[in-house]
Structure 1
């Protein structure tokens, strides 16, 4: 029995090392660890590649969620707004007769309390952005110049467009098109329509300049540098209007009044904004006053306006001119004016002698 026992034990011992070897082989298998390391490296690379996108999400405007193109404003808590959205928020608050607040944290904001963030402006200007024509990426501070004068894929017109050629295409194809363009070989009768459109545009511009020079020859001319200040009607809180203080011209008292979107019930519901104005005679007159008037930017204002001449005959019965458009450059300019406490401008008046 003593001999059998060692034999039995010797027969059971050999399988144990083989099991141990198999377990060790499983634990020393490097493939799983290699896969985990390679995955982490790929994730790191993808994060590095998306750094610009992540920065764009951090530095974007809190209102439009787009990267600012120019000035960047921030509230007292550091939330960012581009210049267009900042003025739009202030304009909406003006229309609602409320204090403007940050769209993120609702802290009060104003032109006095909000500050420019120059660091963000510089950082955004260095972020890459795609050219809309060639789809290549360039720093945002050079993209505008690239799209306007450098990019070979930018859209260009034919140099014979003035005589009716409608072709538009990439600038690098313009020379080939112009060498094959049929419009230079057309007869005068065939290009008359295009010339008439150009003549009409030139005639309108010429008429404006001729009218201004004619008015400058009037005996009675005066101008006033004025301020439009915001007021509200009692009918509806959103009905904002602007009015100047009384001013003197030609021995009479006048007031200029302006309104938003032709007194739309709630202008905050519209993204398009416009201003119209009227001239009001405040004193009684015994003789009719034939007035020409126009609004200019003036030395104390900064509005972007295209001057337009308007005419109205004032009398004792008709002492208010109809509302006429204030020819601002665009809706964004109207928002910028609404965001200001006052609107400075120059009013020029011409009185026709009887």
Structure 2
């Protein structure tokens, strides 16, 4: 009876109990059971492999591809993804355009050789190259809209934030008459239906109109002054190139100076300095450039002069037109340093990173 029970557990199929077919013993069925178990174990998937696949799927969900690429393609200086041009040193380390020009500008101010912040290899405008593959890859990576918090490819994010996003900040159409409301674009129409400024009296909106008139008058005065100067008898146009040099003082300071050029029958030189002659401009995050006009010839009689610096055909300097006036005499042959009207600090850094600074100087005299 014991043998029959064992065989039933091992093989549940019917058993012929005839005398011609003997009943197998437990010693004969054990090897068969072990062989079947070994066969199943051979073709079964290992537990380790299953755990590996499961672990990989979790990592893929946790660390997205764009996040990993963001850490690889970021700028070596600011550790942020570049917004425009991407430069690389000879070893392939990446820098965004703003940080690249800032590194070159700092080296110029310190009278040192610019080096890569990662590997310290020498870099310059000629040795560093743009990496177009990285620029294209970064432009396809997603970025979050600052208004609606949705993600868009970087190459379309600016268009979305400026023209498409319904959450972008907008002003009331009656802002010109003093309405201070600012809010999401989709709430603008509802506000304008209830805005009280269209029903205000003229006396109430005069303050807003005065500020607008003041700004327009400044622009009109500038254009009127330029048109008046164009009627002067003597007008010269000079394309000036400034080159850097350093003083022989204990603390070497950086200056720029042009070669002598002839205008209005006199010899002239243009000189420029950084941060209004600050001792160490590298310690300041804000930078600007000022320049002066120096008369190198002797003036027999006083010379009244108007001058303006503009972007010329050679350089790509970004300046806003501003007219200066000075009277040259035998005692006063140098104008005071006046600001070169650059828009911001990055533009000044870009000029410092260049080998030379080129702009057009127009001089007017009666």
| 3-state SS, counterpart of residue 220 of structure 2 | helix
Pick aligned residue for 1:105 from 114, 119, 123: 119
Which protein has the larger Cα radius of gyration, Structure 1 or Structure 2?
Answer: 2
- For structure 2, the 5+ residue unaligned runs are 1-36
* Structure 1 segments (4+ residues) deviating >6 Å: 32-35
Matched, 1:333 2:335: no
1:224-257 per-position Cα deviation (integer Å, ceiling 9, x unaligned): 1110000111125551110101111111111110
Matched, 1:93 2:93: no
| Whole-angstrom CA distance in 1 between matches of 2:247 and 2:73 | 40
Pick aligned residue for 1:118 from 115, 132, 141: 132
| 3-state SS, counterpart of residue 108 of structure 2 | helix
Of the structure 1 ranges 288-297 and 33-42, higher mean CA displacement relative to structure 2 is found in: 33-42
- For structure 1, the 5+ residue unaligned runs are 1-23
2:60 is matched with 45
2:268 is matched with 254
Pick aligned residue for 2:356 from 330, 342, 346: 342
Matched, 1:179 2:170: no
- 1:1-354 counterparts in 2 under 5 A? 36=51, 40-47=55-62, 49-352=63-366
| 3-state SS, counterpart of residue 262 of structure 1 | coil
| Whole-angstrom CA distance in 2 between matches of 1:337 and 1:68 | 20
| 3-state SS, counterpart of residue 208 of structure 2 | helix
Report how far residue 223 of structure 1 moved.
1.1
Contact 1:238 1:267 in 2 (8 A): no
Contact 1:300 1:344 in 2 (8 A): yes
Of the structure 1 ranges 131-140 and 247-256, higher mean CA displacement relative to structure 2 is found in: 247-256
| Whole-angstrom CA distance in 1 between matches of 2:180 and 2:252 | 46
What is the TM-score when the length of structure 1 is the normalising length?
A: 0.88
Contact 1:227 1:244 in 2 (8 A): yes
Report how far residue 45 of structure 1 moved.
2.9
| Whole-angstrom CA distance in 2 between matches of 1:342 and 1:37 | 59
Q: 1:237 to 1:53 in 2, by over 3 A?
A: farther
Report how far residue 270 of structure 1 moved.
1.2
Report how far residue 50 of structure 1 moved.
2.2
| Whole-angstrom CA distance in 1 between matches of 2:252 and 2:104 | 14
| Whole-angstrom CA distance in 2 between matches of 1:101 and 1:148 | 37
Of the structure 1 ranges 205-214 and 233-242, higher mean CA displacement relative to structure 2 is found in: 233-242
Contact 1:156 1:171 in 2 (8 A): yes
| 3-state SS, counterpart of residue 243 of structure 2 | strand
Root-mean-square deviation over aligned CA pairs: 1.9
Contact 1:95 1:238 in 2 (8 A): no
| 3-state SS, counterpart of residue 72 of structure 2 | helix
Q: 1:248 to 1:172 in 2, by over 3 A?
A: same
1:58-107 per-position Cα deviation (integer Å, ceiling 9, x unaligned): 00000000000011000000000000100111111111111100000000
Q: 1:104 to 1:37 in 2, by over 3 A?
A: closer
